[in-house]
Amino acid sequence: MWKKEWPKHSVLAIAIIATWLKTYLTYKTSFSITIDNVLQEFILFINPLSMLLFVYGIALFFKSEKARNRYILAIALISSIILYANVAFYRFFSDFITLPVLFQTDNFGDLGSSASESVFITDLVYFTDVILILLAMKFIRIIPASNLNLAVQRKAYFIISAAVLFFNLGLAEMERPQLLTRGFDREMLVKNIGMYNYHLYDMYVQSKSQAQRALANGSELVEVNNYIRANQPDPSKDMFGAAEGRNLIVVTLESLQSFTINGEMGGKPITPFLSELTKDEDTIYFPNFYHQTGLGKTSDSEFLVENSLYPLSGGAVFFTHSGNTFNSMAESLGNKGYHTSVQHANTKSFWNRDIMYQSLGIDQFFDIESYTIGEGDAVNWGMKDIPFMEQSVEHMADLPQPFYTRLLTLTNHHPFYLDEEDKLIDEFDSNSGTVNRYFQTARYLDESVKVLFEELKEQGLYENSVIVMYGDHYGISENHNEAMAQYLGKEITPYESAQLQKVPFFVHIPGFGEGYVDEEIGGQIDIRPTVMHLLGVDSEQDIQFGGDLFSEEHEEFVAFRDGRFITDKHVYAGNVCYDIETGIETDKAACEPSIEPAMTELEYSESIINGDLLRFYDEKNGQLILSEDELKKLDKEQQRLKEDTQN
């Protein structure tokens, strides 16, 4: 075969075909992309081709074979790196990389252990096209050809490239109308326009978001404000102010999912203390509570808790918009005389916290430098949770009261490694080491919460505090569904996957005496108004999308950052509507009334963040801060709308 003479552009053709097929096979083997019909499969198959035809085709403009080959090899290597980076990222985050993530370099060092868990020697297979191209360049003999009609050949080639692109987009639009308006659904974008085109689209979206702030003038906030005022439930008369004047201690339960509460491993409880707390007379426990984070994971949960705004569809607000104006819970409580702080035994720059906390109005940040890490107290991400709890309570004892402090735990973090002396239960037995180890670190986290309560009592802080605890995000990603199916004893369908996004939410009020399990469906977006009303702080004028979970008017509706949602009757996931009680697929029409509100809230929240719109809002009186010209323009618009309504 090597002695045979090949046409002039054979290396180019081999490069295109090899990278195309490798990309498609990677789609099928490395990503959990749902395919519902033959058309979707065909779109998935052809979608890498248009971009590959274009970028590889630029080689046709190089005159020398040597320069042409170098360019082809460079493109093969770059495309392989992009593809493989998404594979490694997907293994942990179950999502595709966005542009802001690439600039979160401050986190890379701390993410080392999690990243190493997602990299294997067999991953060299993702560079097979590079190897094939090298072999072709070395051994294929090219037939000498004249350069006659080269311009015509190039023109025809790029016309074909454009035709493939428009053919792909046409099929995608037919399969998924208004696809490019649903940028939060990255799997849908990759499935329809391809990995490489998705990254170009992502660059466009991120550039657009940066321009949004520069062009924003505050008038965009009018529609958002009207929507929020119309949908904001009144506080519960019974619970408003039930913990007024008390210290507020909010505990982030790292990666803890609700299936661990009242769950067992090898006949032993996974979370004995937290499970018992669900029955405590001073505790209100919400079993139908969901995390709503995106790529920002823990930082997104912090953002939700502080602001009752949704996180961004790509990247983490803590990085991309840390200079924005926010109306955080910390700022509101600070205005009521609370000393505000966060305690987290990790480096202060991780997730850009040292900068973002200033924007959130947090008075003090106890980072890793505030802790003494003794022998055996270190964990890969900083400090083990038990000594962290002990020293954090010591910090609290020195704080002026009333105080609001948030504690971020660490030990129950991927890849879930634990020292032998800290293993209080056995591992699970499955083909996933990640899942197997998870139960042990979750058990250790539970023990640390028990220590927290004991230390608060010992320091005399317990009785005058309210302790709020919530899971920040999932610990077990969808890539481990097979092992989770083994533990749960049932198949992980899109419905079950949505149910696995439940995280614990506890409100513990010492002396309350009327504890109960509240079946209300809610999410992290609801924490801010729920907690503030519990402390007797009115949030009526605030821009927030959540509602008080204790309110009789609270709407049971949880929107996920990827467009899925939960109501009291249905689960919408994977573009399929399920009955929430049975998990059986039902008519999509049953979910349609909630699809638009879910998208509206996500889009409104995104516009607030990207436009930094809260700089145009005075939360003290609920008034927009606009220029005189903008106010006149707004008055005219409102008058016109009023006249249209009357007519």
* CB-based burial label for 5 (10 Å; 0-12, 13-18, 19+): exposed
**AA identity, residue 625:** I
**AA identity, residue 390:** E
**How are beta strands 247-253 and 141-142 bridged, if at all?**
unpaired
Structure tokens, 60: 């046709």
User: What Cα–Cα distance (Å) separates residue 316 from each residue in 228, 349, 363, 412, 598?
Assistant: 24, 14, 22, 21, 20
| Closest C-alpha to 435, from 492, 475, 494 | 475
Structure tokens, 366: 């106890």
Just list the catalytic residues.
298
Q: CA 510 to CA 502: how far, in whole Å? A: 25
Q: Which residue has the tokens 């053919």?
A: 167
Q: Which residues pair with 586 in a beta bridge?
A: 577
Structure tokens, 490: 């049932």
DSSP secondary structure letter of residue 563: S
Helix 49-57 to helix 10-30 angle (10° resolution) is 150
H or E element that contains 26: helix 10-30
CA 26 from centroid of its chain's CA atoms: 23
Number of other residues whose CB lies within 10 A of the CB of residue 438: 29
Q: CA 382 to CA 366: how far, in whole Å? A: 13
Q: Are 299 and 104 in contact (CB under 8 A)?
A: no
Q: CA 568 to CA 519: how far, in whole Å? A: 10
| Closest C-alpha to 524, from 359, 356, 370, 303 | 303
Q: Which residue has the tokens 């409100």?
A: 507
Q: CA 371 to CA 148: how far, in whole Å? A: 74
HEC states along 311-322?
Answer: CCCCCCHHHHCC
Q: Which residues pair with 506 in a beta bridge?
A: 285, 469
List, in order, residues 6 or more apart from 554 with CB less than 8 Å away: 233, 520, 522, 526, 547, 548
List, in order, residues 6 or more apart from 61 with CB less than 8 Å away: 154
| Closest C-alpha to 201, from 168, 175, 174, 224 | 168
Question: According to DSSP H, which parts of 140-194 are helical?
Answer: 150-175, 186-193
* CB-based burial label for 64 (10 Å; 0-12, 13-18, 19+): exposed
Q: Which residue has the tokens 């990790």?
A: 346
Q: Are 187 and 65 in contact (CB under 8 A)?
A: no
Q: CA 594 to CA 572: how far, in whole Å? A: 9
Q: Are 460 and 399 in contact (CB under 8 A)?
A: no
**How are beta strands 141-142 and 5-6 bridged, if at all?**
parallel
